Amino acid sequence: MDMIIVETPWVKTLYGLSSVHVASRKVGDEIRELLDPVWKAVRAYQIKSTGINHVVYGENGEYFCGVECPSLSQEIPGLIKKQFRLDQYAYFKHIGPYSGIPQAYAHMAEEMGKLSLRPGSTSIEIYGHWNNDENLLQTELLISFKK
């Protein structure tokens, strides 16, 4: 799949936890450590969700891991409710093992450069439903940009 430029806003309210990346740690381990308590809270309070994990990367190594709960109006104890908005972004769907995501980002950066687009401060990973065949895993990548 080719990268797509989207100029329709992406807006989601997510419930989750945030942290700052520690250079000596693997990002995947940090993400799992944040998502585990998110899912425990969603299950404990029997909250209906989309079942899709979101990881939002911001400035200075900050990131937020959460899930969308579209019909929820109240807070979930222990979780942060946060709304995210990208007015315009580059979109790419990576299909395959999570270990291929860095190469997908490199491909996106190259394509964005050809279009004279400068990456913004926010990128988002949306993880599709789990599949035991990692070659079928789907991860949507969104990178905000400036023209």
The domain 4-146 having CATH identifier 3.40.50.720: the answer here is no
Full pLDDT tens readout for the chain, 147 residues: 689 999 999 999 999 999 999 999 999 999 999 999 999 999 999 999 999 999 999 999 999 999 999 988 788 999 999 999 999 999 999 999 999 999 999 999 999 999 999 999 999 999 999 999 999 999 999 999 988
Q: Can you tell me the distance from the alpha carbon of 62 to that of 54, in angstroms, rounded to the nearest whole number?
A: 14
Task: State the pLDDT at residue 1.
Answer: 66
Q: Find tokens 């190259």 and name the residue.
A: 110
- Residue 101, token pair as written in the block: 């995501």
Is residue 63 packed enough to be buried (19+ CB in 10 Å), middle (13-18) or exposed (0-12)?
Answer: buried
Supply the DSSP string of 45-63, one letter for each residue: TT------EEEEE-GGGEE
* Beta bridge mates, 132: none
Q: Can you tell me the distance from the alpha carbon of 76 to that of 34, in angstroms, rounded to the nearest whole number?
A: 15
